[in-house]
Amino acid sequence: MAKAIMIQGTMSNAGKSFIAAALCRIFRQDGYSCAPFKSQNMALNSYITADGCEIGRAQAMQAEAAGIEPSVLMNPVLLKPTTDVGSQVIVGGKAVGNMNAAEYFRRKRELIPWIMECYEKLSAQHDIIVIEGAGSPVELNLKSDDIVNMGMAKLAKAPVLLVGDIDRGGVFAQLLGTLGLLEPDELSMVKGLIVNRFRGDIGLFDSGRRILEERGGKPVLGVVPYLRCDIEDEDSLSDKLSSREKGLIDIAVIRLPRISNFTDFDAFAQYDGVKVRYVSRYEELETPDMVIIPGTKSTISDMKWLRESGFEIAVGRLAAKGVPVFGICGGYQMLGETISDPLGSEGGGSIKGMGLLKCSTVFGAEKKQVQTHGRFTDTGGFFSCLSGAEFSGYEIHMGTTDSSSPQLLDCGGAYEGSVYGSYIHGIFDSPQVSERIVKQLFSSKGLAFGGGTADRHAYKEAQFDLLAEGVRSSINIELLYRIIEEGI
């Protein structure tokens, strides 16, 4: 069976996912077979494995860092929020229904046998398992029957590293407060602290390190600087979602209330002069070079929000001026004429869409979960340059869309003039797609294409290496391996 190390954080977005990814890459570089694991993930960013199972995007990203194929064994339980008090519950990569928070908390202990079955199978295949926690391990009102933080550490007999985020302030309160709220048996499982996202001269934190070690009674493995590498993030608190910076090419993504898979647009960051910004108010939209309407877990309610917020009118005016608009998954559905949910798959009801594509969507009982690849058709309009371009990606959706608009892809989708829609998540990751789009956007403004790394895989590999280098040079690797070897 594999050795294990668990990364827990003082709060959401403390950097657990990135530290876990860095360790996956470091262990791979050092010749070990390793795999990520998160027993229960809550995220709207998800990924479809080769065998059609849905898992958290972070575990897929960490698997890439480890150089292995993503598997449902890495994320046995996924919660996708549908409302403020309820989520779609996905077990073993398949949706088992919607539950409110109270119902799920009553039933989650039933999931432990499945979680441990996945963990043990994964452990039998690798040398090291990098386990990621969720949120904070000391949410005292939620600690009973915990299956993702200290509860999981106990089940896996995994030593714990606690990560605090100094960039958001209060790192002493974060780390020392968390240690102070742990039970004695839990405290004994914490083998070290990591201070994450430090800006400036790390030497100035030497006294801070001593204070943490003296008061916390735990060694500080390292102080990790604020690393500027482009790694996919699934957290709704991601810095990417607050970006307002414009580039020579300005791509505006509408930040829907239930936005999902916002990592679909990370590919554009690899091109010089291109900036992606997320807009929450129609006044922020202005006149971008391209508008993207992303996926969502609640298509009908987010369509209503688009209408009430003024985005529907604003996007319609831009499309009428020839500004390209691209909808992905739920965004594609919203660009159509009607959206209906007769079975209540996502809350029920029906609503009129934006009417920019001649298509209608009806939600059914079955969710489509599949990896796919293909080509663009003989596409017209603003992005006629996409004709024949090869793509690959995956589909995750409940709805079936019928269209009388010209077909965009050999497997569906639609377009009308400068408006395009597709169900394919990750479609922009294909270099033939993203590079042609960027070149066309530069050309339409009379600008020379600035270049970039069209090979998305090579780009991501380089970013993982940058992340691993930054973390490796900042922490005590010898102590890390000793903690793993000694266990608990």
What's the confidence (pLDDT) of residue 240? Answer: 66
The answer to whether 229 is a known catalytic residue is: no
Q: Is pLDDT of 228 > 80?
A: yes
CATH 3.40.50.880 residue ranges for the chain: 249-449
Per residue in 180-205, pLDDT tens? 999 999 999 999 999 999 999 999 99
Q: Of the given ranges (45-49, 299-303, 347-351, 479-483), which has the lowest mean pLDDT?
A: 347-351
Per residue in 406-461, pLDDT tens? 999 999 999 999 999 999 999 999 989 999 999 999 999 999 987 776 688 888 99
Per residue in 40-63, pLDDT tens? 999 989 999 999 999 999 999 999
Cα–chain-centroid distance for residue 265? 11
Q: Of the given ranges (22-31, 124-133, 266-275, 289-298), which has the lowest mean pLDDT?
A: 266-275
CATH 3.40.50.300 residue ranges for the chain: 3-231+462-486
Cα–Cα–Cα angle for 233, 238, 148, nearest 5°? 65
Kindly state the average pLDDT of the residues 143-165: 95
CATH number, span 3-231+462-486: 3.40.50.300
The answer to whether 425 is a known catalytic residue is: yes
What's the confidence (pLDDT) of residue 348? Answer: 83
CB 251 within 8 A of CB 274: yes
pLDDT confidence bin for 176, thresholds 50/70/90? very high
CATH number, span 249-449: 3.40.50.880
How many C-alpha atoms does 363 have within 13 Å on its Cβ side?
25
Catalytic residue among 24, 34, 329, 359: 329
Catalytic residue among 53, 118, 126, 425: 425
pLDDT confidence bin for 239, thresholds 50/70/90? low
